[in-house]
Structure 1
């Protein structure tokens, strides 16, 4: 039995009976979850359990895989994101993605941030664009480190700085949801701590969903946790409850390290 919360009209995103296939292979089996702006939601589970596949469905990133097929309903503010009239480019501006490996554009630090606002028409002139770049870098905790080198290449930054640059790039287009797919797995402990601190600071401003292999990280940064196993969401609830008194035996076995 999957633990879910009662339907919350304030949910930013809502999925109902979502199944995802790669060809004939079922990767995600009938997942229903509400994602709220007030909380950081963590997806945990063993490798290959489907958590990243499900995360990618929330901004239609699976559209890039020809064999992928999504069934069920995924809504953003009550609107079906898989409806035929949905503008996918606009959707991905509203629901940003930060990937496992930092992927700055081969452009300057400034242009990495300015690119999205420019193509979405969010700035009317250079002064507005400058302001967006500074605000985004400040929110990502990177401004003081790069303000004197905005013309340097984004790829010249350290791995942790590159990841914060990618978060700033996602923030720059004024998203409503930020999806993070193991954003710290390639980073050292110090850079990881900075990203976790940043997630705390961004909480409440955006709905944040993070996929993580680290149960310690999920416990530190999230208020809601969903445990995935073999393509199913086994349990979902308050992070403290999931880690201390899980209702499902499979959750307990995973939390206590009996498999992983």
Structure 2
């Protein structure tokens, strides 16, 4: 897999504003009374849970508060999930409406497997391994550093979406039992094979120096957002391979082309099987 050399897309979408305390006549399905939607922190002032018919001003909590909580503005338009993996503490709600001792209690009832772990959606052609939750170690500083480093060197010239696609491929390999079960082992697999390893930056003989701190900051944000499940690209789906448009690897002819994002083309095995 080759590092892209295209220019970065610097568009930075804004996070939609969450409306606080909307007038009663404008309340929509997006807003639910806090006493119906989340667990109140013990000891919180009773005024926060005063029903509308009690004569007080009820406090409302928007579902968007959880959807975009912790998400950098530049990634907001890529968010595909209201919930984050329970282990991704970077996305733990910090507002006073959530239980302080268990910040994800209000999310667990809506988690897609009932455990609070993010499970990617399975589509036609995907293999069952895609529905494996990531190992807890993926959220450690070391693993996140490996993922951000790979995104930086493989795709820093791509848009945020293109970088997210590369991160998704790496995490797909972590889920796939045919590959190592840690990010660092996936990224540096066969790194002692000069120019023949899995990710070109890891075995090209060039020192891996981070010279663009802003670009690395974006790569780090992308890495966490994809690991947390806040971003999952359906068109990339269970892809485990990609290559830059200026090369023509022989293995591509034996795989299913999924999509092109920027200068990268993404592939999965036919039937979503192991490879």
- Give the TM-score range, shorter chain: under 0.3
Higher relative contact order (CA 8 A, sep 6+): 1
Query: Per residue, is there more strand in 1 or in 2?
Result: 1
Q: Normalization by structure 1: what TM-score?
A: 0.26
Q: Which has the larger radius of gyration?
A: 2
Q: Normalization by structure 2: what TM-score?
A: 0.25
